């Protein structure tokens, strides 16, 4: 049967209460995401080391799933009263047709060619090129399936620049894809760090699936050592905050690779990192930038 999806714009103060109220009023599920995603105002909600962790974004989209016959106008009037508003916040609805969601989800994720020799392959697919370097990875709780331009940029950089025997640190590892790829491409060791416990666990599971010895940690548990290559595919604001830390864990003459940067933000990031690194011209893909350089 069809369903109704309700999307509401909410402030940080409203979003959590609104989510609870919508569940009480019959929502089957509720999701909160950043209304500023893919803009210069996008922010991570996981606090980086030494930084306070915001609870939610400043501008939120609350999306709830309801049965097709739900009285959305009445529900929103009740929700508005519950969050102390005379009128409901801005919202809209759309009909969601019933489907075989597992089959549809799998159909969206085909093997992804990163380079002639490097592919990302979901578990339900046979590799297109069995002789290639195939990273087995399913969509999951953590960011990094190879489909996003920022991940592709980092993977292509690793494919081009790993010569064999390097140590690699993947800061903000998400699914662990970059650390796993580094080892498959010839790095001697790879460590991943993430502030999200689910990302750390997903990365460990993916390393086992790919039969590589990558190690993954929360920030406080990570080894304190310098590394030949440091790669960080996160967001511009965290990259700015983390600049001294990432510079510190890169050995002299080591390489740094930064992504998750919108093209128009690349110059600001480069100004900060140029204190420690000789930077190359950024590489662009679909409005995103990858910045790399060598530590002086």
Overall CATH class of domain 3-98? alpha beta
pLDDT at 106: 52
User: What is the average per-residue pLDDT within 141-163?
Assistant: 85
Strand 215-217 relative to strand 283-285, pairing: unpaired
pLDDT at 187: 98
| Spatial CB neighbours of 144, under 8 Å, sequence gap ≥ 6 | 137, 151, 173, 174, 175, 176, 177, 178, 233
pLDDT at 41: 67
Using a pLDDT cut of 70, give the percent of the chain over it.
Answer: 87
pLDDT of 39 > 60? The answer is yes
User: What is the average per-residue pLDDT within 80-99?
Assistant: 85
Kindly list the domain boundaries of the chain, sorted by start residue.
3-98, 142-295
Confidence of residue 102 (pLDDT cuts 50, 70, 90): very low
Token representation of residue 180 = 């796993």
CATH number of 142-295: 3.40.50.150
| Spatial CB neighbours of 131, under 8 Å, sequence gap ≥ 6 | none
Lowest mean pLDDT among 33-37, 222-226, 247-251: 33-37
User: What is the average per-residue pLDDT within 230-241?
Assistant: 94
Q: What is the largest CA-CA distance in the chain?
A: 64
Confidence of residue 99 (pLDDT cuts 50, 70, 90): low
User: What is the average per-residue pLDDT within 107-123?
Assistant: 82
Confidence of residue 159 (pLDDT cuts 50, 70, 90): very high
The DSSP line for 151-212 is: HHHHHHHHHHH--SS-EEEEES-TTSHHHHHHHHTT-SEEEEE-S-HHHHHHHHHHHHHTT-
More confident residue, 170 or 28: 170
pLDDT at 182: 98
pLDDT at 154: 96
Confidence of residue 16 (pLDDT cuts 50, 70, 90): confident
User: CA-CA distance, 65 to 26, in Å (whole number)?
Assistant: 9
Lowest mean pLDDT among 4-18, 152-166, 200-214: 4-18
Contact between 160 and 255 under an 8 Å Cβ cutoff? The reply is no
Give the model confidence (pLDDT) of 179-217 as tens digits. Answer: 999 999 999 999 999 998 989 999 999 999 999 999 999
Mean residue pLDDT across the chain: 87
User: CA-CA distance, 62 to 55, in Å (whole number)?
Assistant: 15
Confidence of residue 58 (pLDDT cuts 50, 70, 90): confident
Confidence of residue 14 (pLDDT cuts 50, 70, 90): confident
The DSSP line for 126-156 is: --S-TTSEEEE----SSS--S-SHHHHHHHH
Secondary structure class of 251 (helix, strand, coil): strand
User: What is the average per-residue pLDDT within 75-100?
Assistant: 85
């Amino acid at each position: 049967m069809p369903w109704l999806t309700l999307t509401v714009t909410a402030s940080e103060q409203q979003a959590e209460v609104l989510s609870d109220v919508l569940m009480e009023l019959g929502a089957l599920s509720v999701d909160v995401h950043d209304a500023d995603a893919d803009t210069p105002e996008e922010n991570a909600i996981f606090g980086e080391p030494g930084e306070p962790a915001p609870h939610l974004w400043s501008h939120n989209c609350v999306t709830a799933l309801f049965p097709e016959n739900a009285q959305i106008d009445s529900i929103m009037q009740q929700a508005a009263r519950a969050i102390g508003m005379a009128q409901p916040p801005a919202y809209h609805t759309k009909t969601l047709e019933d489907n075989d969601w597992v089959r549809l989800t799998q159909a969206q994720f085909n093997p992804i060619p990163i380079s002639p020799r490097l592919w990302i392959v979901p578990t339900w697919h046979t590799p297109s090129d069995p002789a290639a370097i195939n990273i087995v990875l399913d969509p999951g709780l953590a960011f990094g399936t190879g489909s996003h331009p920022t991940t592709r940029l980092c993977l292509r950089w690793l494919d081009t620049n790993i010569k064999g025997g390097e140590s690699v640190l993947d800061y903000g590892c998400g699914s662990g894809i970059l650390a796993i790829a580094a080892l498959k491409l010839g790095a001697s060791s790879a460590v991943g760090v993430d502030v999200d416990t689910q990302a750390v666990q997903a990365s460990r599971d993916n390393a086992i699936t790919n039969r590589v010895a990558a190690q993954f940690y929360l920030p406080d548990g990570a080894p304190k050592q310098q590394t030949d290559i440091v790669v960080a595919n996160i967001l511009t604001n965290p990259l700015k905050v983390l600049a001294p830390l990432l510079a510190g864990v890169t050995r002299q003459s080591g390489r740094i690779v930064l992504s998750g940067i919108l093209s128009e933000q690349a110059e600001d990031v480069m100004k900060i990192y140029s204190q420690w690194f000789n930077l190359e011209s950024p590489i662009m893909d679909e409005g995103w930038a990858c910045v790399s350089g060598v530590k002086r």
